[in-house]
């Protein structure tokens, strides 16, 4: 942890300018020491607090955040500290792992209290709670450790320990129940400490409420703590420290959601729906086993009806009998006529975000807030073609393959049939997979529609949602323009 120490004593007026002069603006804090100017963005500050003079070098394996939290006092001590993260981006906009920075000032108790309170007010005080939801047994079983080692110390440093709440899920869909039943007026944000699973449940729960039109304004957030952390990757929040900081800052953007209907039952989801080879790899195997999947390559059969964004106004067809069966936002395109865009795919990735995993950018041009889904599909593929879809997935190389097609749509219907194994021409109708945001759903006809900008999601101030597409064309300058 980087520490800087400055002397500040407003009682010594003659020496004030030679010691420390502190200035606050709407965006930054500035101070001067011996004619040298320093500044720090308020967006990078965790909190300000009175601190003990003693500096612990180690304590039972505690990390810098825990050690900093241990030193905080509620009453003036003559010393006070600003805690912030050093945040650095490379030329492509990738953020590096943050380091904790502490700037220590010394002053009389009255001056210290005034400084601490003034800066806290500038950071934006809250009178509502921060709700964190985690599954202690999900994925890699590390969510609770992340909470105690990272999230809670940051909350303490920010002086918000009395305004945070933790809920642990006990069974499947418990997070949906929490989001569906909570009093949204009492909370500033609801955040998952998880992979994509708990976050998916929160999205579904908020939009399944009878009062969803009001509850949808409650910001949602994610702190990566699971096996797959796709949503965090898309928001430039791969590090739990930065995800927690972003939650404290409260900056949001609008967020599209997919409404997924099967057999008159609706599910709201945030990430993707995949079918075919990619779904097999996601559900049945880890990435290192992908080559084995290709050797036993399954050739899927199905029918896809797509409604491109250009034709959306021609196919508004609300089915009142379906929409009245559930609470939540209505769908415009429940039934897509058979004369809409039709194809016979063998694999599909339907995307609400560019990254469906931290190592797989499925479509660099996808946006989380443009009101469309991106459908990436292939209508014919052999083993070598399948191999091209798992090579260099971190750069999106598969989008340069001729057999890979791409459409921006507002809705689609997938009628999945069975699959053919590599050694059989017969259609097999068992062990087939439909993958919704990393979870297996029934293998049956599915209707999906984009609900544009329906939720508010926490984002950091450095998030650039166009940078994935820019980097794709930098890496593959001869690639066709993505729609």
Q: What pLDDT digit, counting tens, does each position of 34-71 carry?
A: 778 889 999 999 999 999 875 555 555 678 999 999 99
Q: Cβ atoms within 10 A of the Cβ of 235, count? A: 25
Residue 282: enclosing H or E segment and its boundaries? helix 277-284
CATH number at residue 208: 3.40.50.10330
Inside any domain, residue 82: yes
306 lies in the same domain as 345: yes
For 123-166, what is each residue's pLDDT tens digit? 987 889 999 999 998 767 899 999 999 999 999 999 999 999 99
206 lies in the same domain as 264: no
CB 217 within 8 A of CB 254: no
Q: Helix axis angle, 196-207 relative to 174-181, nearest 10°?
A: 40
78 lies in the same domain as 136: no
Answer left, alpha or beta for residue 173, where phi above 0 means left and psi between -120 and 50 means alpha: left
Give me the pLDDT at residue 15, please. 29
117 lies in the same domain as 144: no
CATH number at residue 17: 2.30.29.30
- Reading the block at residue 40, the tokens are 């720090």
Query: CB-based contacts of 366: which residues, under 8 Å, 6+ apart?
Result: 351, 352, 353, 354, 374
234 lies in the same domain as 324: no
Give me the pLDDT at residue 59, please. 57
Query: CB-based contacts of 371: which residues, under 8 Å, 6+ apart?
Result: 256, 309, 410, 450, 452, 453
Query: CB-based contacts of 168: which residues, under 8 Å, 6+ apart?
Result: 133, 134, 135, 136, 144
- Reading the block at residue 446, the tokens are 């599915």
Inside any domain, residue 481: no
CB 227 within 8 A of CB 135: no
Domain closes at, from 250, 270, 303: 250
- The torsion angle over the Cα atoms of residues 400, 362, 275 and 406, rounded to 10 degrees, is -50
Domain closes at, from 122, 143, 166: 122
382 lies in the same domain as 429: yes
Give me the pLDDT at residue 185, please. 97
Sign of CA dihedral 450, 336, 209, 438: negative
73 lies in the same domain as 10: yes
Domain closes at, from 56, 88, 122: 122
Residues β-bridged to residue 190: 131, 220
Give me the pLDDT at residue 422, please. 56
Inside any domain, residue 480: no
239 lies in the same domain as 274: no
Segments forming the whole domain that contains residue 215: 129-250
The pTM of the full predicted model, rounded to 2 decimals, is: 0.89
189 lies in the same domain as 225: yes
- Residue given tokens 């967020």 in the structure block: 255
Distances (CA, A) of 46 to 7, 23, 37, 189, 204: 21, 18, 21, 17, 31
Inside any domain, residue 222: yes
> What is the number of domains present in the chain?
3
Each residue's pLDDT expressed in tens, for the chain with a length of 483 residues: 555 554 444 333 222 333 567 889 999 999 887 778 889 999 999 999 999 875 555 555 678 999 999 999 999 888 899 999 999 999 888 999 999 999 988 877 778 888 899 999 999 878 899 999 999 987 678 999 999 999 999 999 999 999 999 999 999 999 999 999 999 999 999 999 998 889 999 999 999 999 999 999 999 999 998 777 889 999 999 999 999 999 999 999 999 999 999 998 999 999 999 887 666 665 555 443 445 455 456 677 788 888 888 877 665 555 544 444 567 787 777 565 555 555 666 788 999 999 988 888 999 999 999 999 999 988 777 767 667 777 788 999 989 988 889 999 999 999 888 665 555 555 556 667 888 988 889 999 999 999 999 999 999 999 999 999 999 999 999 888 886
Dist CA 192 CA 229 (whole Å): 11
- Reading the block at residue 274, the tokens are 């995949």
The three-state secondary structure class of 57 is: coil
162 lies in the same domain as 109: no
190 lies in the same domain as 300: no
Residues β-bridged to residue 303: 415
Give me the pLDDT at residue 304, please. 87
CATH number at residue 438: 2.60.200.40
Give the β-pairing of 45-51 and 79-86: antiparallel
Inside any domain, residue 268: yes
The three-state secondary structure class of 176 is: helix
The closest of 252, 243, 203 to 224, measured between CA atoms, is 243
401 lies in the same domain as 423: yes
- Residue given tokens 């084995």 in the structure block: 292
Give me the pLDDT at residue 427, please. 57
The closest of 314, 286, 409, 405 to 352, measured between CA atoms, is 409
The closest of 196, 226, 225, 228 to 359, measured between CA atoms, is 228
Give me the pLDDT at residue 296, please. 56
Inside any domain, residue 482: no
Dist CA 107 CA 463 (whole Å): 37
Q: How many Å separate Cα 480 from the centre of its chain?
A: 28
Give me the pLDDT at residue 179, please. 98
Give me the pLDDT at residue 9, please. 41
Give me the pLDDT at residue 279, please. 60
């Amino acid at each position: 942890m980087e520490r800087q120490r400055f002397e500040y004593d407003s009682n010594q007026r003659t020496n004030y300018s030679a010691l420390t002069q502190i200035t606050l603006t709407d965006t930054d804090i500035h101070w001067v020491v011996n004619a040298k100017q320093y500044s720090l963005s308020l967006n990078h500050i965790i909190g300000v607090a009175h601190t003990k003079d003693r500096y612990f070098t180690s304590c039972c394996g505690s990390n810098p955040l825990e050690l900093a939290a241990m030193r905080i006092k509620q009453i003036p001590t003559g010393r006070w500290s600003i805690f912030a993260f050093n945040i650095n981006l490379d030329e492509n906009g990738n953020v590096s792992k943050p380091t904790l920075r502490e700037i220590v000032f010394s002053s009389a108790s009255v001056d210290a209290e005034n400084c601490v309170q003034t800066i806290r007010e500038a950071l934006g005080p809250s009178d509502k709670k921060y709700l964190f939801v985690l599954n202690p047994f999900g994925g890699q079983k590390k969510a609770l450790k992340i909470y105690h080692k990272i999230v809670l110390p940051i909350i303490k440093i920010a002086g918000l320990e009395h305004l945070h709440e933790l809920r642990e899920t006990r069974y499947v869909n418990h997070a949906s129940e929490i989001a569906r039943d909570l009093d949204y007026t009492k909370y500033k944000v609801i955040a998952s400490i998880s992979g994509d699973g708990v976050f998916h449940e929160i999205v579904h729960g908020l939009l399944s409420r009878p009062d969803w039109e009001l509850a949808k304004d409650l910001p949602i957030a994610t702190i990566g703590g699971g096996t797959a952390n796709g949503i965090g990757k898309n928001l430039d929040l791969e590090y739990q420290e930065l995800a927690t900081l972003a939650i404290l800052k409260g900056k949001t953007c609008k967020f599209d959601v997919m409404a997924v209907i099967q057999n008159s039952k609706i599910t709201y989801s945030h990430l993707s729906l995949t079918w075919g080879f990619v779904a097999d790899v996601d559900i049945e195997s880890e990435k290192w086993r992908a080559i084995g999947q290709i050797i036993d390559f399954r050739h899927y059969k199905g029918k896809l009806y797509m409604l491109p964004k250009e034709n959306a106004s021609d196919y508004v067809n609300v089915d009142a009998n379906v929409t009245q069966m559930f609470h939540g936002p209505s769908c415009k395109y429940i039934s897509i006529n058979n004369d809409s865009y039709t194809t016979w795919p063998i694999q599909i990735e339907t995307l609400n975000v560019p990254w469906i995993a931290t190592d797989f950018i499925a479509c660099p041009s996808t946006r989380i807030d443009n009101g469309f889904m991106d459908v990436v599909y292939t209508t014919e593929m052999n083993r070598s073609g399948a191999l091209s879809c798992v090579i260099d997935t971190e750069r999106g190389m598969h989008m340069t393959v001729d057999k890979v097609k791409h459409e921006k749509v507002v809705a689609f219907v997938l009628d999945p049939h069975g699959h053919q194994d590599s050694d059989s021409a017969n259609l097999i109708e068992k062990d087939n997979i439909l993958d919704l945001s990393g979870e297996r759903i029934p293998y049956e006809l599915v209707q999906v529609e984009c609900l544009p900008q329906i939720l508010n999601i926490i984002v950091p101030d450095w998030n650039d949602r166009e940078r994935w597409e820019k980097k794709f064309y930098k890496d593959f300058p001869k690639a066709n323009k993505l729609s």
